[in-house]
Every structure is written in C-alpha cells, then in structure tokens.
Chain A
Amino acid sequence: MIKRDWDIIVVGGGPAGTVFARYAAEKGLSVLVLEKDREIGLPVRCGEGVSMRGLEAFTPVNPRWICRKISAVNFYAPDGTLVDLDFKMEGAILDRCVFDRDLADLAAQAGARIYTHANVTDLILDDQVVRGVVVRYRHEDVKLSARLVIAADGVESRIARKAGIKTAVTPENMDSCVQVTAHGLDMNPDALSFYMKREYAPGGYVWVFPKSETSANVGLGISGNFTHKISPYKSLMKFLADTFPNASWSSLVAGGVPTDKTLDRITANGLMVVGDAARMVNPLSGGGIHAAMKAGKLAADTAVEALKQNDVSEEFLKRYAKAWHEEAGKNHEGLYRLKEVVNKLTDEDLDKLGHKMVAIPKEKRSLTRIFKAVAWNNPRLIMDVARAFSGI
C-alpha cells in the first residue's frame, strides 16, 4: 500500500514533476510522484524538439535520449518558398519515452517514490491550506497527506483549480494538435521544418521533426479560434496527402498546447503549480519541455526552504513565482505578444516575408534583419512587431 504521510506529493510524472521530485528528494525530503497513466513516458504527445543548451542546464545529457542532432531550420512559406537558416544553437530531437523515464529514474535514484495508475481526483484542504490529495488507486479512493503538494498535471491542470486557482484557458489560447510519427519520408533529415500555410494550420504551423534519415514527427497545431473552419485531424491528413503521399505512420496522437500567458497565480497555501499546468509553454513556438524542467527546479528550491522553515503559506511560496518571473516571465510575455502578431499574418504576408528572407544572403539571415526587410514594405507589420518586441 502507498505510505500515507509525505513531505511532498507531486501530481503528474512529466518533466516538470520528475525534475521537481529529483531536486527535492536530493535534499532529503520524502517525495511521492503520482502519475495517472499506466506508464511514464507514454503516449508521446510531443514533437520532441529541444535545444541542447536547454537540456544541459538541468542534467548531464544521456546520449540515449537523443534520436537525432539538428543543425538547420527550414521555413516553407505558403507558396512553397524555402527559407533555410543555420541553427545558431545545437538542436536535438528527443526520444521522449526514454527521456521521461530516465528523468523518473533520476528522481527515484535520489529517493523519490513513484506510482503509476494513480489518478489524483481531489485535494484535501483544511482552513484554505492544501494538506494532501485523494488518489484513485486500484478501485479505492485513498487519502494521502503532505506538507506541500505540487500540481504538475500538464495541459488539463485540474489540481490547482481545486485550490481556487483559475487555470482554464480560452480556446484562442489553446492549440489543438494532431501528430503522426511518419515513415518513408523524403525530407531534409538534419533540419527542423516548419510549414506556415494558413490553409493547413491557421494560428499555428505544421512541423516536421526528423527522428531518423527517413522518419519524422509530423504534426500541426491550430488555435482554437480557427478550429471551426478546419479540423486538426483532417488538416493533417490533407497535409500528408499533399506533401508526403507515400508516408505511413506508426503512431497518431492528439494533444493540446496552452499558448497563453503564464497564470497570474502559481501558488496557494501548501501548493505550487509547475510546467504546462501553470501555462509556461513558449506561446510562439509551443515548446514547453525546457520551461517545465526550469519550473520544476525553481519550485524545488523554494520547497526545500519552505519545509526547512516550516512555512508553506502562499506568502512564502511566492518566492517561486518571483524566481520564475525573473528568469523567464518577461521573455514569455514578449513571446505572447509576438504570437498575437504572427497569428494575424495572412498567407500573402508570409509569402512576402519568405521572398524577402531568401533575398538576404544566408550568412546574414537573422530575425532582426528579416523583420526589418519585411517591415519596409509593410507599415502595418512594423507597428505590430515593434509592439510585440517592446516588452522583450
């Protein structure tokens, strides 16, 4: 049976939860991770693209996590114009099943306990302070107590709501995604490819992230604002038929990416919210692995102090919110504004952008130069981009 009393209970066994658990357990705290799914790491609802630098910040990188190193970025404008950019940083496509499991393994090695098939259904509150969780485990609703609870429950983000934090995002800030892992592809296997055509992915984009010479994660995200016009599933099928007519796939998954601003409140008495649950995804790119790990680390730093001083009040835990805003919050808000601008671009705007970009010699292609070049002919855009960048 699961032990009843813990220093910390973590809800969710994704990167945010397991990175948190590792850091907290290393400091000698008793940490329990509860994961509702049958196994950690599956299903993989992710394009698996990361920058190496982002990973290395948290853990020595095990080569078995990396499917493929990436050295270039290819943007396809709606009319097919290819804009290739050298990747300034080293990129990688992960094997997230192995990666997520190894993060769990590192947490376990540090002393954390992990249970799967353990669905947390409620929080235990006492005088507006979170004191534990109710977990559905093998047909039973089990009450567990903890000095601190971590909501690392991903896009659904139900746990924090039970402590009074509003986590629901509006459809315009939810990217509705479908992805296949496709095989037999004729593509550039060293590049992240992005297809910007609005016909396929309004308010988002199509990605092709290579996992081998001939296979890739091929997916798309459509802002909930546009899904009444086009269904993500049907749109991906159309993209595949148009672009890779001979492809087969070994997996098909759905998923949601919250591309909202980070929640105003990411703490309550006895509770901290981390990763996708706190809406920390990069709102422009939709990448969230790095942010989830960062949040896990920052929350663990505060958790260790809070338990040492025996103070889990929201007032104390706000140190974590402050650390997040100092390290990532400002940048995040700038990216959110930029997302709003980019979403407004039409196919014609994007084509023009593409033509301007290819006219710039490759070694000189940088985002700033590109925006300058486009803005020359498009006063509306220059205003919007200036607005978007003003906060960065």
Chain B
Amino acid sequence: MIHIDHDLCDVCGTCVGVCPVDCISMSDTTLNIDDDLCIQCNFCIQVCPMEALKEETDD
C-alpha cells in the first residue's frame, strides 16, 4: 500500500502522470489512491518531489 502524507503533498499531479494503472485521483485540494487497483510499482514514490509518498507494509 502507498501511504500519502497529506501534510507534505502539494497536489501537483506528478505522481498521477506516471501511474501505469491510473489509480491515483486528485481534486483541487487532495490526492487519493485506490489500493485495490494499485500494482505497487512505486513509480509514484520515485517521482514525488516532496517525499510525500511511502510504501506501507501491512503487519
């Protein structure tokens, strides 16, 4: 699962532009990831300029 730190996220859309399965959606103020569709490629984490995304392992 990808965890969004909403305090750091600038809602800039960079992660949306690389998501191969289009599971990240945005409004003008917030970002949302559909965990059911996510394939855990981590591209979004890779391109986020603000370090707002992290991989979350379920324990």
What is the interface of chain A, defined by CB distance below 8 A to chain B? Answer: 36-38, 45, 117, 119, 121, 136, 154-158, 161, 167-171, 174, 176-178, 224, 227-228, 231-234, 253-256, 258
Chain B contact residues: over half helix, strand or loop, or mixed?
loop
Query: 29 interchain pairs (CB within 8 A)?
Result: A45-B12, A121-B25, A155-B14, A156-B13, A156-B26, A157-B16, A157-B17, A158-B22, A161-B22, A167-B17, A169-B17, A171-B43, A171-B47, A174-B17, A174-B47, A176-B14, A176-B48, A224-B18, A224-B43, A224-B46, A228-B46, A231-B49, A234-B51, A253-B10, A253-B12, A254-B12, A254-B14, A256-B12, A256-B13
> Judging by beta carbons under 8 Å apart, are A254 and B50 in contact?
yes
* Band of interface residues on B: 20 to 34
Please give me the residue from chain B that is nearest to A255 by CB atom.
B12
> Judging by beta carbons under 8 Å apart, are A171 and B13 in contact?
no
> Judging by beta carbons under 8 Å apart, are A38 and B28 in contact?
yes
Interface residues of B in 23-51 (CB under 8 A from A): 25-28, 43, 46-51
Task: Name the contact of A170 in the complex, choosing from B18, B22, B49 (C-beta under 8 A).
Answer: B18
> Judging by beta carbons under 8 Å apart, are B16 and A155 in contact?
yes
Residues in B with CB closer than 8 Å to A256 are 12-15, 17, 47, 49
Residues in B with CB closer than 8 Å to A121 are 25
Interface hub of B22, B25, B47, B51 (most chain A Cβ within 10 A) = B47
Residues in A with CB closer than 8 Å to B4 are none
* CA A168 to CA B18, docked complex, whole Å: 5
Residues in A with CB closer than 8 Å to B48 are 176, 254
